[in-house]
Chains A and B, each alone.
Chain A
């Protein structure tokens, strides 16, 4: 039963809730995850099989084993390229998320700002900002990490800003009336109702942002970056038709995107356990 749901949910008896909170046992976890794990390795195996049986050329689709071997062989240079790109992603996230949160808070707080800025933000959110990547490289330096950070930051900014506004304005009318009945100050309303209401919205934006920032940094590198970056690594070895090494870099790029996503999910469980808990609760 959230603040927003007036349904008077007959939320079961409390002992039943206790078993839900206890979490799954190891056996349950294995059973829960095994289909996904089987699918993953099954797909890899059939990939390998298809490449071998149909003798697919290495430069069209290398086999998983070939990619694995290349990945292991070139691990040191791949790792330093990944480190270079990772810094861009993190920097972009830091700049974009901070700016998005601030802009969102201002927009939610002041009606005038909201009416002026929000339509533009929503419009900007639907244009392919990634198309600006080459221009950003010119503006902020072709060979710098900073220009890729800025691409990532701009990609991240709009979803974070819009979700922050939505979240801050999501507090339901009865909750605000309740605060009014207690003669609560604006500050109390913001800190005790609006901010907590916004947290799940903001985490939704952060999950999207983890992926967007990774995409932004790598695309930015496609248009100009030192060799020791995942984007240039992919571009270079693709042009040499040395696809295993490109795929090795793609593995790292995927790991950055997925890793950040997982981090966001874990942080959300700590910061906003109510939002995570409720998704597993009976309704």
Chain B
């Protein structure tokens, strides 16, 4: 897919988008009589090109996880159009064209690490020998090749989440959907996992949509950061991350990195005040430096 060494982010890329959302809205019905329906998402337009790494960030209740689940056809929309790989989200799911990683690793204790990664291959009916080979390959990719016979609960939280990533990649999907995958990890592990994930992204060329509530994480990982705000859930700004595509520990020391972190933080704050005061959306521009 994409050349890993390309230094510019992808909006200029041609070809059909991996994800395309047009006027998507999601209203949750009232949970109890007397309460009002919740506008989880309103008028969401978003196009994601192959090879992009797009983060969704925003305060809790802004619908970022709902948006991810809408793309994965785990939550039906109430309006608008969701296309994945040029098909409806439902067709794409049934065609197993994306892999999903949740905040919890969701590993099955009755399966070894290898068997957990084999699960999607079993569901698609691959022969046993091919399954094991592919699962091993994926575990090597996440550097857990030595832990194939361990049980999930014998691994640390970070390792468990790497198994979940290996499982999500087992069917070689074009799209990886990640819902705050490192949210439960400590800061050190999280930073290590960020580097891991970037390495995997470069190796596989998979398009990634990544939900997070960490600003530094979003900027460090992404080619674009989608800033959302709550009540109603909507996109307030999309920030192009024009850092060199190849990121490493030094990236976090770059002046541009800090500028972008500040930019996203400002955008988040604006979105917050806009949703409380009810004013129109604000275009964030003009950073210092």
Q: Is A8 an interface residue (CB 8 A)?
A: yes
Contact in complex: A6, B103 (CB < 8 Å): yes
Chain B residues whose CB sits within 8 angstroms of the CB of A13 once the complex forms: 156
Of A10, A12, A199, chain B has the most CB atoms within 10 Å of the CB of A10
Q: Is A175 an interface residue (CB 8 A)?
A: yes
Say yes or no: A6-B104 contact (C-beta < 8 A), given A17-B154, A188-B123. Answer: yes
Contact in complex: B110, A8 (CB < 8 Å): no
Q: Which of B93, B122, B155 contacts A1 (CB 8 A)?
A: B155
Q: Is A182 an interface residue (CB 8 A)?
A: yes
Interface string of A1-21 (1 = CB under 8 A from B): 111011111111110010001
Contact in complex: B160, A14 (CB < 8 Å): no
Contact in complex: A272, B110 (CB < 8 Å): yes
Quote the shortest CB–CB distance from B164 to chain A (angstroms): 9
Q: Which of B94-102, B217-225, B271-279 contacts A (4 or more CB under 8 A)?
A: B94-102
Q: Which of B123, B150, B157 contacts A182 (CB 8 A)?
A: B123
Contact in complex: B102, A7 (CB < 8 Å): no
Q: Is A178 an interface residue (CB 8 A)?
A: yes
Chain B residues whose CB sits within 8 angstroms of the CB of A11 once the complex forms: 153-157, 160
Contact in complex: B102, A178 (CB < 8 Å): yes
- Tell me the residues in window 1-52 of chain A with beta carbons closer than 8 Å to chain B beta carbons: 1-3, 5-14, 17, 21
Contact in complex: B152, A182 (CB < 8 Å): no
- Tell me the residues in window 137-168 of chain B with beta carbons closer than 8 Å to chain A beta carbons: 147, 150-157, 160-161
Contact in complex: A3, B157 (CB < 8 Å): no
Say yes or no: A8-B98 contact (C-beta < 8 A), given A13-B156, A174-B106, A188-B123. Answer: no
A196 vs B192: C-alpha distance in the bound complex, in angstroms?
33
Closest residue of A by beta carbon distance from B112: A274
Chain B residues whose CB sits within 8 angstroms of the CB of A174 once the complex forms: 102, 104, 106
Q: Is A193 an interface residue (CB 8 A)?
A: yes
Q: Is A192 an interface residue (CB 8 A)?
A: yes
Q: Is A281 an interface residue (CB 8 A)?
A: yes
Contact in complex: B109, A14 (CB < 8 Å): no
Interface string of A120-136 (1 = CB under 8 A from B): 00000000000000000
Contact in complex: A196, B108 (CB < 8 Å): yes
Contact in complex: A6, B74 (CB < 8 Å): no
Contact in complex: A274, B151 (CB < 8 Å): yes
A72 vs B210: C-alpha distance in the bound complex, in angstroms?
73
Say yes or no: A181-B72 contact (C-beta < 8 A), given A3-B109, A6-B104, A14-B150. Answer: yes
A75 vs B93: C-alpha distance in the bound complex, in angstroms?
68
Q: Which of B104, B122, B160 contacts A192 (CB 8 A)?
A: B122
Q: Is B63 an interface residue (CB 8 A)?
A: no
A148 vs B102: C-alpha distance in the bound complex, in angstroms?
51
Chain B residues whose CB sits within 8 angstroms of the CB of A178 once the complex forms: 100, 102, 106
Quote the shortest CB–CB distance from A54 to chain B (angstroms): 54
Q: Is A183 an interface residue (CB 8 A)?
A: yes
Interface size on B, residues (CB 8 A): 39
Q: Is B105 an interface residue (CB 8 A)?
A: yes
Contact in complex: A175, B153 (CB < 8 Å): no
Closest residue of B by beta carbon distance from A271: B110
Q: Is B184 an interface residue (CB 8 A)?
A: yes
Q: Is A277 an interface residue (CB 8 A)?
A: yes
Quote the shortest CB–CB distance from B93 to chain A (angstroms): 6
A185 vs B124: C-alpha distance in the bound complex, in angstroms?
10
Chain B residues whose CB sits within 8 angstroms of the CB of A183 once the complex forms: 93-96, 123
Q: Is A266 an interface residue (CB 8 A)?
A: no
Chain A residues whose CB sits within 8 angstroms of the CB of B227 once the complex forms: none
Q: Is B185 an interface residue (CB 8 A)?
A: yes
- Tell me the residues in window 253-283 of chain A with beta carbons closer than 8 Å to chain B beta carbons: 272, 274-275, 277-278, 281
Quote the shortest CB–CB distance from A121 to chain B (angstroms): 27
Quote the shortest CB–CB distance from B213 to chain A (angstroms): 15
Q: Which of A2, A182, A193 contacts B153 (CB 8 A)?
A: A2
Q: Is B67 an interface residue (CB 8 A)?
A: no
Contact in complex: B74, A182 (CB < 8 Å): no
Closest residue of A by beta carbon distance from B170: A182
Q: Is B119 an interface residue (CB 8 A)?
A: yes
Q: Which of A8, A181, A192, A274 contacts B93 (CB 8 A)?
A: A181
Say yes or no: A7-B184 contact (C-beta < 8 A), given A2-B109, A177-B102, A182-B120. Answer: yes
Closest residue of A by beta carbon distance from B171: A182
A-B contact pairs, 29 of them (CB 8 A): A1-B107, A1-B157, A2-B153, A3-B107, A3-B109, A5-B104, A8-B105, A8-B160, A8-B184, A9-B156, A9-B157, A11-B154, A14-B147, A17-B154, A174-B104, A175-B106, A179-B123, A181-B74, A181-B99, A181-B177, A182-B124, A183-B123, A184-B123, A188-B122, A188-B123, A192-B122, A196-B108, A274-B151, A278-B109
Interface residues of B (CB under 8 A from A): 72, 74, 93-96, 98-100, 102-110, 119-120, 122-124, 147, 150-157, 160-161, 171, 177, 184-186
CB-CB nearest 5 A-B residue pairs:
A8-B184, A6-B104, A8-B157, A274-B109, A181-B100
